[in-house]
C-alpha cells in the first residue's frame, strides 16, 4: 500500500481551537480512494467534528476492519492511535481496548460488508454491551474493495452495475442497533455535511454505544440507475426526522415538548443535545415508535435520517462490570495480586 503524506507546512494564520490545534492537525494522509467516493466526505466531516469539539488528537483511538471504508482512518486523525484489525473483527478489539483504558475516545470505522456480512455477530454484541464508542458504518451497499458484490445491506430489488438484481432482504443496521441495545442511533448521508457534522459531535459526546449509519455512495460500483445507494437516489429519498445541535454544560431536561418544537435532552456527562423536530410526531426516546417509523419510511421507499433513537441515560460497560478506573497498564503488582492470605479467604468462602 502506498501512503502519501501531506506537506507539514501550515499557514501561520490558521485558526486554532481551544486546545491549540488547527483543522489541519486533525487530517491524515492523502486519500487513495476513488475520486468522489462518499467515504472521503465522511473522513472530512470527522476532521471537522473533532476540530470543533477540540478533542486532543492523541486522546482518540480509531479502529477499523477491512474494506475501502476501513482504510479511511488512514486519511483522518493522523496523530491518533490506530488499529486496522481483521475483517469484521473490529468490535471485539475495540471492546478490549476500551476495557484496558476507558480514558480515550473510541471511534470504530467499518463498512456494510465488514459490519453486516462477516462481522454481523460482533456488530450485534458490541451494541448491547454499553461500550462507550462512536461506531461509524460507511454504508454503500456493496463490497467496494473487492469490486462491487452486493453486501447484506443492499436493498431487495436493487440492481447491480452489470444488471444483476438483488433477491435477498437487506439488513437495516440502524434498526438492528436499536434492537440490540445501542443508546444513540443515527443515520445520515455522506453528501449532507450540515446534518452529519453535528451528528458526529453528538455521537462522540454520548457516554454510551453510539452508532452512525452513513449512506456513502461507491462511485465505482454502485452509483448508477437502479441502485438505492447512489447520490441521486439518496438525495431524492432522504427524509430527516430532526436536526441536531448540542450544548455543553447546560441544565434543563424537557421530557414533554410540542410538535415541531425544539427539545433539549441532558446526558449524565453534562452534555445536552438540542433537537429541532422536523417530523412533528417523531419521538427519538420511544424505541418501538422509532423502529416503526423507520420501517414505515422504508416501505414507502424513503430513507429516514437524523437522530433516530436516544437513551439519554446509558449504562456503561465499566459500570456494569465494576472495573477499576485506572488504565490496566498503570496497575502495579500489588493492585493485581491481592496476596495469598486474601486468596485463601476467597477460596474458603467458595468451599
CB of 151 to Mg ion, least distance (A): 5
> Which residue, 99, 87, 174, is CA-closest to 133?
99
- Could you give the CA distance from residue 228 to residue 215 in angstroms, rounded to a whole number? 10
- Contact flag: residue 42 with ligand SF4 (CB under 6 A): no
Specify which residues 149 forms β-bridges with. Answer: 143
Query: Distance between CA atoms of 55 and 129, rounded to whole angstroms?
Result: 25
Q: Which residues of the chain form contacts with ligand TPP (CB under 6 A)?
A: 66-69, 87, 111-114, 118, 138, 140, 142-146, 151
- Stretch binding Mg ion (CB under 5 A), from 18-26, 99-107, 143-151, 289-297: 143-151
Stretch of 34-42, 112-120, 227-235, 308-316 lying at the interface with Mg ion (CB under 5 A): 112-120
268: its cell numbers: 449524565
Which is closer to ligand SF4, CB of 140 or CB of 242? 140
34 binds, options Mg ion, ligand TPP, ligand SF4, none, Cβ within 5 to 8 A by partner type: ligand SF4
Q: At closest approach, how far in Å is the CB of 216 from Mg ion? A: 8
Report the 10 Å Cβ neighbour count for 187.
Answer: 28
Helix (H) or strand (E) holding 185, with range, is: strand 184-189
Residues in region 64-103 near ligand SF4 by CB under 6 A: 68
Maximum distance among all Cα pairs of the chain, rounded to whole angstroms: 72
Shortest distance in whole angstroms from residue 27 CB to ligand SF4: 18
Q: How far is CA 343 from CA 297, 331, 335, 350, in A?
A: 58, 19, 13, 11
Residue 333: C-alpha distances to residues 318, 328, 329 (Å) = 21, 11, 11
Residue 116 Cβ, how far from ligand TPP at the closest point, in Å?
Answer: 8
Beta bridge partners of 247: 272
The nearer residue to Mg ion, 196 or 272, going by C-beta atoms, is: 196
Of all residues in this chain, which one has the CB nearest to ligand SF4 in the complex?
Answer: 144
Is residue 220 a contact residue for ligand SF4 (CB under 6 A)?
A: yes
Among 28, 144, 181, 198, binds ligand SF4 (CB under 6 A): 144
Q: What is the DSSP string of 117-128?
A: ITTHHHHHHHHH
Among 140, 183, 242, 267, which residue interacts with Mg ion (rule: CB under 5 A)?
140
Q: Which of 25, 27, 28, 33 binds ligand SF4 (CB under 6 A)?
A: 33
39 near ligand SF4, judged by CB under 6 A: yes
Candidates 25, 27, 40, 112: give the one binding Mg ion (CB under 5 A).
Answer: 112
Q: Which is nearer to ligand SF4, 57 or 65 (CB)?
A: 65
Q: Least distance from C-beta 120 to ligand SF4, angstroms?
A: 20
For the chain, counts of helices (H) and of strands (E): 12, 13
Closest by CA position to 180, among listed 329, 263, 296, 291: 291
Radius of gyration of the chain (CA): 21
Amino acid at each position: 500500500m502506498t501512503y502519501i503524506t501531506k506537506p507539514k507546512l501550515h499557514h501561520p494564520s490558521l485558526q486554532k481551537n481551544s486546545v491549540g490545534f488547527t483543522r489541519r492537525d486533525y487530517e491524515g494522509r492523502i486519500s487513495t480512494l476513488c475520486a468522489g467516493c462518499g467515504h472521503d466526505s465522511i473522513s472530512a466531516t470527522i476532521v471537522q467534528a473533532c476540530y470543533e469539539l477540540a478533542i486532543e488528537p492523541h486522546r482518540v483511538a480509531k479502529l477499523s476492519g477491512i474494506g475501502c471504508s476501513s482504510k479511511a482512518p488512514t486519511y483522518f486523525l493522523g496523530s491518533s492511535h490506530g488499529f486496522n484489525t481483521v475483517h469484521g473483527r473490529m468490535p471485539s478489539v475495540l471492546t478490549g481496548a476500551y476495557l484496558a483504558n476507558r480514558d480515550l475516545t473510541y471511534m470504530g470505522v467499518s463498512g456494510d460488508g465488514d459490519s453486516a456480512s462477516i462481522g454481523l455477530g460482533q456488530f450485534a454484541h458490541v451494541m448491547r454491551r454499553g461500550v462507550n464508542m462512536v461506531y461509524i458504518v460507511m454504508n454503500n451497499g456493496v463490497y467496494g474493495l473487492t469490486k462491487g458484490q452486493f453486501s447484506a445491506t443492499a436493498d431487495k430489488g436493487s440492481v447491480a452495475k452489470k444488471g444483476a438484481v438483488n433477491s435477498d432482504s437487506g439488513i437495516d443496521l440502524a434498526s438492528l442497533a436499536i434492537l440490540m441495545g445501542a443508546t444513540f442511533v443515527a443515520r445520515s448521508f455522506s453528501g449532507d455535511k450540515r446534518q452529519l457534522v453535528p451528528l458526529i459531535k453528538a455521537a462522540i459526546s454520548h457516554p454510551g454505544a453510539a452508532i452512525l449509519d452513513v449512506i456513502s455512495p461507491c462511485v465505482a460500483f454502485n452509483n448508477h440507475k437502479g441502485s438505492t445507494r447512489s447520490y441521486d437516489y439518496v438525495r431524492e429519498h432522504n427524509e430527516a426526522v430532526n436536526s441536531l445541535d448540542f450544548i455543553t454544560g447546560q441544565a434543563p431536561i424537557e421530557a414533554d415538548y410540542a410538535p415541531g418544537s425544539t427539545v433539549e435532552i441532558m446526558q449524565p456527562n453534562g452534555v445536552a443535545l438540542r433537537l429541532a423536530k422536523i417530523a412533528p410526531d417523531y419521538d427519538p426516546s420511544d424505541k418501538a415508535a422509532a423502529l416503526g417509523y423507520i420501517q414505515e419510511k422504508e416501505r414507502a421507499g424513503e430513507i429516514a435520517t437524523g437522530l433516530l433513537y436516544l437513551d439519554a441515560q446509558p449504562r456503561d460497560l465499566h459500570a456494569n462490570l465494576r472495573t477499576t478506573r485506572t488504565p490496566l497498564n498503570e496497575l502495579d503488582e500489588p493492585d493485581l495480586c491481592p496476596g495469598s492470605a486474601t486468596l485463601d479467604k476467597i477460596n474458603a468462602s467458595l468451599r
